[in-house]
């Protein structure tokens, strides 16, 4: 008998896996915070004998090298991946004995990266699962444009061939267990569902139901923006990431917070957007801890810039630190726990701004003299936008503040989270801002004119 435990990295939209038998196990695409992997193995009572990477990841920093050092496990990395550390190079067809009657077989599946490798789990010679990394995802495939622009079309065609290889060589009932596709920007399209098989993908996956030319043309036309921090993940993984330090950061008091803001440091408030709008340190930015904190903070912050974290509780701070080390933001410069009352100096008052709905926007817009600012991505706006709105995606806003028109700003996204980030950036810049905390589908219901609407407004985040 074998087991497969899924380790969810929901903030990044990824999964890792602990796979094994009675005595030993393999870890597939481990996260950087390896303590949770070690704890999962301890609960199973197994020794980690192998660690495998499907590819050099572009969206997070791996924990594979450190996990191998701590456990003594063999570290298997695709042979064609250029790395600066000792590892066991993996070629197409290579096998590794994981436990009694349990084998892992490498399958070359280039496309997401040139060296991408899937791993087939076999029990007594029978395929029982395939770990597809960033190749075959649930209803889609991994994007081919993260390595080098000149390789994108070639990799898209390779992705099509790799998926067809999996479909041809594996039985329909084989479970497909990808790393990406649960909200990760490594996915070429929004994946749906939590589980799939080869047979299901044969019915619905565009890579398997379309010819290569049509598939490639549609795939390339639909590629979205690449998070800026991705440029740093591949090199970090190739160099060999350092161990993480999750101990509490230095404590910042009100004077220290003010001084850090005065020097241009980013002070990030992790509380929920409702609490932030009601009262916050003037000049601070709001990235909700329970949202896609790592993705959006790493995307927006100038790389390497010091960050001070403000949290509602020690637990919220610790969870945020864990999220951020996964994308290479290793140590906050300082942190404070509590609320605005303890974060601002005597004699100062918290800053605040209004929250509203699309129905409120209808009422206010008739009076004129306001600007509706859409901070969704280009692909979302193409699916429908409010007539007359200004469009600046949130991940570009901090560099384009001088392009924002004068007037009171009503900021919206698809669900409220990104509008809150944008509103905090604008509020810190001294603008009069209202955060529309509402689902975009409510815009039509409220009576706003939505141009080119496809009906769903995209993902509600």
Q: What is the pLDDT of residues 274-287, one digit of tens each?
A: 999 999 999 999 99
- Look up the pTM and report it: 0.93
- Cβ-contact 287, 419 below 8 angstroms: no
Q: How confident is the model at residue 182 (pLDDT cuts 50, 70, 90)?
A: confident
- Cα separation, 120 vs 129, whole angstroms: 6
- Cα separation, 29 vs 133, whole angstroms: 8
| Per-residue pLDDT tens digits for 138-154 | 999 999 999 999 999 99
Asked if pLDDT for residue 189 goes beyond 90, the answer is no
- Cα separation, 126 vs 219, whole angstroms: 33
Q: How confident is the model at residue 461 (pLDDT cuts 50, 70, 90)?
A: low
| Per-residue pLDDT tens digits for 209-254 | 999 999 999 999 999 899 999 999 999 999 999 999 999 999 999 9
What radius of gyration, in Å, describes the C-alpha atoms of the chain?
23
Say what the pLDDT of residue 455 is: 42
Nearest one of 288, 296, 276 to 355, comparing CA atoms: 276
Q: What are phi and psi of 246, to 5 degrees?
A: -105, 15
Per-residue pLDDT averaged across 52-61, rounded?
A: 97
Q: How confident is the model at residue 366 (pLDDT cuts 50, 70, 90)?
A: confident
Say what the pLDDT of residue 240 is: 96
Q: How confident is the model at residue 458 (pLDDT cuts 50, 70, 90)?
A: very low
Contacts of 109 (CB under 8 A, 6+ apart): 116, 117, 118, 132, 133, 135, 136, 162, 163, 165, 166
Contacts of 278 (CB under 8 A, 6+ apart): 352
Question: 171 to each of 23, 29, 127, 159, 252, how far by Cα in Å?
Answer: 28, 24, 8, 19, 57
Say what the pLDDT of residue 291 is: 80
Segment (H or E) for 366: none
- Cβ-contact 441, 413 below 8 angstroms: no
Per-residue pLDDT averaged across 344-355, rounded?
A: 97
Asked if pLDDT for residue 364 goes beyond 50, the answer is yes
Asked if pLDDT for residue 165 goes beyond 90, the answer is yes
Segment (H or E) for 267: strand 266-269
Mean confidence (pLDDT) of the chain: 95
Per-residue pLDDT averaged across 440-457, rounded?
A: 79
- Cα separation, 307 vs 280, whole angstroms: 16
- Which of 60-69, 85-94, 103-112, 368-377 is predicted with the least confidence, judged by mean pLDDT? 368-377
| Per-residue pLDDT tens digits for 31-45 | 999 999 999 999 999
Say what the pLDDT of residue 289 is: 95
Selected residue with higher pLDDT from 166 and 185: 166
Name residue 268's beta-bridge partners. 285, 309
SS3 454: coil
């Amino acid at each position: 008998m074998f087991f497969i435990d899924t380790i969810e990295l929901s903030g990044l939209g990824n999964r890792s896996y602990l796979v094994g038998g009675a005595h030993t196990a393999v870890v597939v695409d481990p996260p950087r915070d390896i303590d949770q992997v070690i704890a999962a193995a301890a609960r199973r009572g197994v020794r980690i004998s192998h660690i495998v990477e499907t590819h050099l990841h572009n969206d997070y920093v791996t924990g594979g090298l450190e996990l191998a050092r701590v456990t003594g496990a063999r570290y298997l990395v695709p042979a064609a991946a250029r790395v600066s550390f000792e590892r066991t190079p993996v070629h197409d067809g290579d096998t590794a004995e994981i436990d009694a009657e349990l084998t892992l077989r490498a399958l070359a599946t280039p496309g997401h990266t040139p060296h991408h490798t899937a791993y087939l789990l076999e029990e007594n010679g029978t395929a029982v699962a395939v770990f597809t990394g960033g190749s075959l995802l649930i209803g889609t495939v991994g994007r081919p444009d993260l390595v080098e622009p000149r390789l994108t079309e070639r990799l898209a065609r390779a992705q099509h061939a790799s998926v067809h290889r999996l479909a041809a060589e594996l039985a329909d009932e084989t479970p497909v267990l990808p790393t990406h596709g649960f909200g990760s920007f490594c996915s070429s399209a929004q994946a749906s569902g939590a589980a799939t098989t080869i047979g299901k993908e044969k019915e619905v996956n565009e890579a398997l139901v379309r010819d290569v030319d049509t598939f490639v043309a549609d795939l390339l036309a639909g590629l979205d923006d690449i998070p800026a921090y991705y440029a740093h993940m591949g090199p970090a993984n190739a160099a060999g990431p350092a161990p993480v330090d999750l101990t509490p950061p230095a404590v910042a008091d009100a004077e220290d917070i003010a001084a850090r803001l005065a020097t241009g440091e980013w002070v990030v408030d992790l509380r929920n957007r409702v609490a932030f709008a009601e009262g916050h340190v003037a000049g601070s930015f709001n990235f909700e801890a329970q949202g896609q904190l790592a993705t959006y903070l790493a995307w927006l912050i100038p790389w390497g810039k010091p960050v001070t974290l403000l949290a509602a509780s020690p637990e919220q701070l610790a969870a945020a630190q864990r999220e951020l080390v996964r994308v290479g933001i290793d140590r906050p410069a300082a942190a404070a726990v509590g609320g605005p009352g303890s974060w601002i100096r005597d004699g100062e008052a918290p800053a605040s701004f209004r929250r509203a709905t699309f129905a409120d926007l209808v009422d206010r817009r008739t009076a004129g003299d306001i600007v509706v600012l859409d901070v969704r991505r280009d692909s979302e706006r193409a699916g429908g936008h409010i007539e007359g709105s200004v469009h600046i995606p949130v991940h570009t806003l901090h560099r384009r503040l001088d392009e924002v028109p004068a007037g009171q700003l009503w900021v919206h996204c698809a669900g409220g989270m990104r509008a809150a980030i944008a509103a905090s950036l604008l509020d810190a810049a001294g603008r009069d801002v209202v955060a529309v905390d509402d689902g975009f589908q409510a815009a039509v219901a409220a009576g706003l004119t939505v141009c080119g609407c496809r009906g769903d407004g995209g993902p509600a985040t």
